Amino acid sequence: MLKEVKYPNEDINQNIPNDLESYWMPYTTNRRFKKNPKFFVSAKDMYYTTSDNKKVLDGMAGLWCVNAGHCRPRIVQAVQEQVAEMDYSTAFNMGHPKAFILANKLAEILPKDIDKVFYTNSGSEAVDTALKMALAYHNANGDSRRIRLIGRARGYHGVGFGGMSVGGMVVNRKQFPNHLPGVDHLQDTHIPEKNAFSKGQPKYGAERAHSLVDLINLHDASTIAAVIVEPVACSTGVLVPPIGYLEELREICTKNGILLIFDEVICGFGRMGKAFAADKFNVIPDIMTMAKGITNATVPMGAVATHKKIYDTLMTGPEHIVELFHGYTYSGHPLACAAALATLEEYEVENLFEKAENMELFFQENAHMLKDLDSVVDIRTIGLAAGIELKSRDDGFGKRAYDVFDNCFENNLLTRFTGETIAVSPPLIVNKDEVKIIFETIRSAILEVE
Ligand SMILES: Cc1ncc(COP(=O)(O)O)c(C=O)c1O
């Protein structure tokens, strides 16, 4: 028997559930959503279809993840075939071929010597795995005092206790007061008074990398295991690294025996117009985390790639003992591996990283056309990612951005809001007309919600 209809919108298509109460939605204002629910029921290429049959242009590649566009036949077919051939295989002391083939393919596009790949199921798990690997590496080196993990203010590294602790967005931290001990944070790189409306990398702020020197002076380098940063801090509103900043950070880490981890969960797989942000900025970390675009989001998957020195250091000791006591039931899941292999092929065959790189300038120019609007206080762009920061209204921080997001959706465009910033990150297949529609729709929305 169907329960009583709980949602108020009478027009909603009957295919959707009549009771919304049981599902506790992630990172969502549940009560607000359930008063005015929005449902996607299908997707193709650049568009979603809603339950009331509207076509919505995907200005966010889902959630920074559907980089090749939705339901691409090559990927759909690979997953369909794999599920019929072998649904699951344990990754503990057993292999299946695609897990190894995929690791080799990833190693081909990863920076030189970053060629050992460990699978997880999400970005959060990739981050926690990377942090644990850093600790295990120093431990195996006899450097067991190196236990400190350094994140950065305004960073986002997922929702595990490790990722939350090194993360630096206060809303994600303050509700859960006990974090990992021995964690500290670098200063963020946001300097709006000097860098507002920069196109690409801002000029000022390389010296912010020296906040790592301050932490070394405070704690001593011999106690610091690793520093983790997003090359571009996307979730907090697209903070682009100032020119020279990542290079400085790399140098300080190298000098002091500290591992540098790049969290490439969003930046990887073409978002920056290159395979990885490490390529875009020409700075090579010791460890990289990935997720999202690795499977085009078709099947959940994350991964950690490490420099071979880390793997080699851990491949010591007796061979009958597990070298890293870490892994997941679904590490290297056959469906995820099949999806990832097809996704990498799709990126290559369709030249999607080059397409993104070629579109970057046009995307940037269109984003920056919003500069003339009174309520726009900053625009930040790099690759195919943009953050449009709005002036807060008196009625509350973040309310203007939410209204703009809502207005865009009413006008058939999916964006995302974080604080008072509207984020844009379309699939890499986006064309010029669609880029124009995205920023024109945002312009109208900003004007309408004044
Ligand atoms: C940089 C970064 N790291 C980690 C994560 C967490 O990934 P997931 O949501 O797959 O756990 C995200 C998610 O947006 C992210 O942007």
Q: Mind listing the pLDDT tens digit for each residue in 352-398?
A: 999 999 999 999 999 999 999 999 999 999 999 999 999 999 989 99
Alpha-carbon distance of 284 to 322, in angstroms, equals 29
Q: Which residues pair with 186 in a beta bridge?
A: 152
pTM score: 0.96
Residue pair 90/332 in contact (Cβ under 8 Å)? The answer is: no
Best of 64, 127, 269, 298 for a ligand 1 pocket test (most atoms within 8 Å of beta carbon): 127
Residue 141 burial (10 A CB sphere; 0-12, 13-18, 19+): middle
Residue pair 99/338 in contact (Cβ under 8 Å)? The answer is: no
Which of 47, 25, 86 shows the shortest CA–CA distance to 336?
86
Which of 70, 46, 42 shows the shortest CA–CA distance to 426?
46
Residue 450 confidence (pLDDT): 77
Could you identify the atom of ligand 1 that is nearest to the CA of residue 266?
16
Helix, strand and coil percent figures for the chain, each rounded to 5:
40, 20, 45
Alpha-carbon distance of 96 to 333, in angstroms, equals 9
Q: How far is the CA of 166 from the centre of ligand 1 (A)?
A: 13
Best of 235, 261, 267, 271 for a ligand 1 pocket test (most atoms within 8 Å of beta carbon): 235
Q: How far is the CA of 265 from the centre of ligand 1 (A)?
A: 6
Best of 119, 120, 157 for a ligand 1 pocket test (most atoms within 8 Å of beta carbon): 157
Q: How far is the CA of 163 from the centre of ligand 1 (A)?
A: 9
Could you identify the atom of ligand 1 that is nearest to the CA of residue 235?
16
Whether the CA torsion 421, 427, 432, 438 is positive or negative: it is negative
How many Cβ atoms from other residues are within 10 Å of residue 106's Cβ?
Answer: 23
What six digits make up the tokens of 167? 């993360």
Residue pair 217/183 in contact (Cβ under 8 Å)? The answer is: no
Residue 200 confidence (pLDDT): 98
Alpha-carbon distance of 205 to 209, in angstroms, equals 8
Q: Which residues contact 378 (CB under 8 A, 6 or more apart)?
A: 192, 196, 197, 387, 388, 389
Could you identify the atom of ligand 1 that is nearest to the CA of residue 126?
4
Helices (H), 274-351: 277-281, 308-314, 334-349
Q: How far is the CA of 67 from the centre of ligand 1 (A)?
A: 15
AA letter at 276: F
Please provide residue 184's backbone torsions phi and psi, each rounded to the nearest 5 degrees. -140, 175
Could you identify the atom of ligand 1 that is nearest to the CA of residue 264?
1
Cβ of 156 below 6 Å from ligand 1: yes
Please provide residue 154's backbone torsions phi and psi, each rounded to the nearest 5 degrees. 70, 5
Nearest CA to ligand 1 atom 8: 123
Best of 156, 276, 295 for a ligand 1 pocket test (most atoms within 8 Å of beta carbon): 156
Residue 14 confidence (pLDDT): 53
- What's the pLDDT tens digit per position in 102-150? 999 999 999 999 999 999 999 999 999 999 999 999 999 999 999 999 9
Q: How many residues does the chain have?
A: 450
Cβ of 155 below 6 Å from ligand 1: no
Ranges of the chain whose pLDDT falls below 50: 1-8, 10, 12
CA atoms within 13 A on the CB side of 3: 8
Cβ of 230 below 6 Å from ligand 1: yes
Cβ of 122 below 6 Å from ligand 1: yes
Could you identify the atom of ligand 1 that is nearest to the CA of residue 233?
1
Alpha-carbon distance of 200 to 14, in angstroms, equals 46
How far does CA 174 lie from the centroid of its chain?
A: 21
CA atoms within 13 A on the CB side of 437: 19
